[in-house]
Amino acid sequence: MKWMALPLAAMLAAGARAAPVFSGMQEEVANVERAFAATMKARDHAAFVGFLSEEAIFEAGNRAQRGKKAVADAWAPYFTKPEPPFSWEPDQVEVLASGTLAKTSGPVYAPDGKLIARFNSVWRLEAPHIWRIVFDGGSEVCDCRK
């Protein structure tokens, strides 16, 4: 059992921001999520909208934006300032065996690098190599040290 503690200790020492390793379809979807996140960093609302499915539903608190236009309109204010208000990256990716539906999840960071939330998204393959987001939501994280 002692030998099992060494890999665990190494993983913990690597830190929470160590990049996960994906392969195959998981890597394809992770790259789509990364490209989606890059639209925020690049301040490119039009590119952000390009990732949205016509049927997209984004949850925000107790409300949900339903449909591509509603989501695009609700997110437009996040793209108005020169600096992005937050960033995100996938650290978990699961893909159905059929390769047509995937779930991504990961940390959301404030501009200062502080972890503020976790996102959860569902992606659908809508055409060959064209993944679009159909569901998105998240949850705040608590500062449990308090």
- Where in the chain are the domains? 23-139
- Residues 6 or more apart whose CB falls under 8 angstroms from that of 139 comprise 117, 118, 120
- Entry pTM: 0.83
Burial (Cβ within 10 Å: 0-12, 13-18, ≥19) of residue 62: exposed
- If residue 30 lies in a helix (H) or strand (E), which one and from where to where? helix 24-41
| Structural fold of domain 23-139 | Nuclear Transport Factor 2; Chain: A, (3.10.450)
Q: Tens digit of pLDDT per residue, the chain (146 long)?
A: 444 443 433 333 344 566 788 889 999 999 999 999 999 999 999 999 999 999 999 998 789 999 999 999 999 999 999 999 999 999 999 999 999 999 999 999 999 999 999 999 999 999 999 999 999 999 988 776 66
